Structure formats: structure tokens, C-alpha cells
Chains A and B, each alone.
Chain A
Amino acid sequence: MPQLDQFTYLTQLVWLCVFYCTLDVLLFHDGLPLLSRRLKLRSLLSAGVVFRAGVGQHEASWGGVVIEGVQRGVGSLSSSEARACQWLAGKSSAGRPRTKRTYGALLGEIGASSMLARAVPALTSGYAEPAAEGATPRDSGWPAETRKKINRLGARRVLLPSTRTTA
């Protein structure tokens, strides 16, 4: 019975350890953070969540999440919108025939793009200026730099025409 062949035990164990540890390290560093960030961003967008000023030490982390999320969302959506415009202009990117599924997905992405562009200024609007002494944490706004960064990202999305490639 090959399973009882003791000479093969060490080799199987060693190579299993090497490849399994490689898989875990790569998933931990690269794969899973990307998946979880996208899921978080989507759940925030779909729930229409507007951040309120968090308690002290969480503000920076929330700001970081939003900036990163918006950057990634804007980056991927602008590439999707470029593809959508190519499609509307009559040619597909790889010369393949258009399908209903692609059309629906592209429309969905354009819709989400507009929603994101409208929502980004609202994420940081209406917050108080940095609080005076004695104010509660809820009264203080986000750090000014964070708000500027997010507004710049939103403005770039709303005001500037995206790099539409006309095929």
C-alpha cells in the first residue's frame, strides 16, 4: 500500500509545509486584504452610510479607510467608464461581440460611479471646524487634511471629464 511507504513521508511533509506556508503568506499579505476592502467599500456604498465624526483615535483610521476606498473605487470605476464609452462608441475592447450581461454590468458601473461622485462630498460636508477646548469628540470634524484629500478626489471625479477614449 503506497500510503505505508515510509521513505515518502519526509518528502511529502516538507513540500506540503513549503507550499502551504507560501499560500498562507500570499493570501494574508495580498489576496484577502484586496477582497475585504472591496466588500467593505461596497457595503458602505450600498448602505448609503455617511460617516459621523468618530471618537478621537478612530478618526484617522476611518479617514484612511475612506480615502483608500475612494481611490480604489474611483480608479476602477474610471477604467470601467472608459470601457463603457468604448462600447457606446461601437467597438468592444477586444473586438468581441457585445452581450446583454456586459451591457448591464457597464450600466451598473456607470450608475455606481455617479452615486460615488455624488456621495463623496457628502461624506465630509457639514462637519464642524476643529473643536474648541472643552468640546465633545462628536463636535470635532475630521482632520482638515483628510477632508481636503477626499474632496479633491470627489471633485476630480465630478468636475473633470474622465479620460474618455473615443474609438
Chain B
Amino acid sequence: MVCSPLEQFAIIPLIPIEIGPFFLSFTNSSLFILVTLQTTLAGVKAATRQGGHIVPNAWEAVGEMIYDFVHTVVKEHIAPPAVKQRVFPLIFGTFIFLALANLLGMIPYSVTVTSHFICTLGLAFSLFFGISVVGFQTYGLHFFTLLLPRGVPPALVPFLVILELISYCFRALSLGIRLFANMMAGHSLVKILCGFAWTMASMGGLMYVACLAPFLIVSALI
């Protein structure tokens, strides 16, 4: 029986839920989104137990390192403090969710939530629309100045505006597709190399020794 490397991405309904014409079943992908959520909350709980300590313990130190990392990135790219405070929880939550979802996907027989483009594109487009709406609410029509960088020669203005507009709109699509493609390609590659290793080991003889090569590549990847 030949196993396809794409079988690992199958969505299996665990709790079938049908509301009219809509299928809203609780699937294996939903289960791992829930596991990601619970892992994040458990980590935050461990980092903030009893309000924390002046001298942090291990869990608190990890939580504070992640907080500091995201805070530094946000501080470098977003200037006004009021905006930074409003936006920081969203960026922190997105970072933690995606990092943990990808890490949990490395567990054998688990589901990589971000290997489905509907998840990554859903997140990317919703953030893109949200940022655009907030941008227009805050700056009004001045938000369009984003499309014209400073110091551009007047002759290039029409072309650059169109180019920047396409680039801005395409950013949402590219962010979603990049993550989905990386996850899908990476997991497919690991599955294929493991398949090689197993087949070579089954053949015996010199192939039994040679199966170390794909096995070591997989170990290095993981």
C-alpha cells in the first residue's frame, strides 16, 4: 500500500455538527487549535502565578523573554505610545499562536493547523482588513500617503503609486501563502524522507546501512 505524503493533512470530523446547509464539525484541526490555545494559556498562567516574583523563576523568565522580544519589535516599528499599547496584545497573541501551532505540528501524528491555506489566509486577510479599517479611521484620506514614499521624483509618481497599491493589497495574500507553503512543503518533505528511510531499511543489505542518510536529514530538519 502506497501512502501519500499528503494524507497527513486530511481533515477528519471528530464531532459532526450540521446547522442547516453548513458543516461546522469539530475536526482534528479544530482540536489542535484548541490544544494551542490551552498550551498558550497554561504557559501564561505559569509565568504569572501568584502575581510573579521580583526574582523570576524559570517559567516567568521564559514568559518575560517572549514578552520582551515582541515588545522590542513593536517598539521599533510603531512610534506613538497610545497606538503601541492598543496593538501590542494583538501582535503578541498572533505571534504566540502561530509559533505554538507550528511547534505542536512537529509532534508525530498531530495536525499542523497552519498547513491549510484557509487558516493562514483567514488570519492574514482579517488582519489586513482590520489594519486598513483602523488606518482609515485614524488618518482618513491621509492614509493614502502610505502609497507614496518621500523623495520620489514627480515623473515616477503615477507608476509608483500603482505599484505600491498592488504591493499593499498583495501583502495579505503573500503573508498567508508563505506560511502555508512553508508548512506544507516542510511536512511533506519530512514524510517523504521518512518513507525513503523505511523503504531502504526494509530492503536490507547495503540499503539497510544507507537508510541512515535520509534518517539523519530528517533529524537535522527537526
Report which A residues bind B (CB closer than 8 A): 1-3, 5, 7-17, 19-20, 22-24, 26-28, 30-32, 34-36, 38-39, 41-42, 45, 72-73, 75-77, 79-80, 105, 108-109, 112-113, 116
In whole Å, how far is A31's beta carbon from the nearest beta carbon of chain B? 4
Sorted nearest first, the 4 A-B pairs with minimum C-beta distance are: A15-B30, A31-B44, A108-B55, A34-B48
B34 at interface, CB cutoff 8 A: yes
Compute how far the CA of A38 lies from the CA of B36 in the bound complex, rounded to whole angstroms. Answer: 25
Chain A positions within 8 Å of B122 at CB level:
12-13, 16-17
Which residue of the partner chain B has the closest CB to A14? B24
CB atoms of B33 and A80 under 8 A apart: no
- A-B Cβ contacts below 8 A, count: 146
The answer to whether the Cβ of B97 comes within 8 Å of any Cβ in the partner chain is: yes
Which residues does chain B contribute within 8 Å of A1, judged by CB atoms? 6, 9
Per the bound structure, the CA–CA distance linking A108 and B55 in Å amounts to 7
In chain B, residues 72-121, which have Cβ atoms closer than 8 Å to a Cβ of chain A?
Answer: 88-90, 92-93, 96-97, 113, 115-119
* Contact residue among A19, A30, A31, A38 (Cβ-Cβ distance under 8 Å from B33): A19
Which secondary structure characterizes the binding site on chain B?
helix
Max chain B Cβ within 10 angstroms of own Cβ: one of A2, A24, A30, A109: A2
- Is the beta-carbon distance between A109 and B23 smaller than 8 angstroms? no
- A76 and B93 in contact, given A3-B116, A12-B11, A15-B33 (Cβ under 8 angstroms): no
Point out the residue from A12, A22, A28, A77 that lies within 8 Å of B29, measured CB to CB: A12
CB contacts (< 8 Å) of A79 on chain B: these are: 50
Known: A11-B24, A12-B116, A20-B97. A42 touches B54 (CB 8 A): yes
The answer to whether A41 touches B116 (Cβ under 8 A) is no
B37 is an interface residue with CB less than 8 A from chain A? yes
Neighbouring A residues of B23 by C-beta, 8 Å: 7-8, 10-11
Name 12 extra pairs, CB < 8 A, besides A30-B44, A109-B54: A3-B115, A10-B23, A11-B25, A15-B29, A16-B119, A17-B122, A26-B41, A27-B40, A32-B67, A35-B63, A39-B67, A76-B53
Contacts of B184 in A (CB 8 A): 3
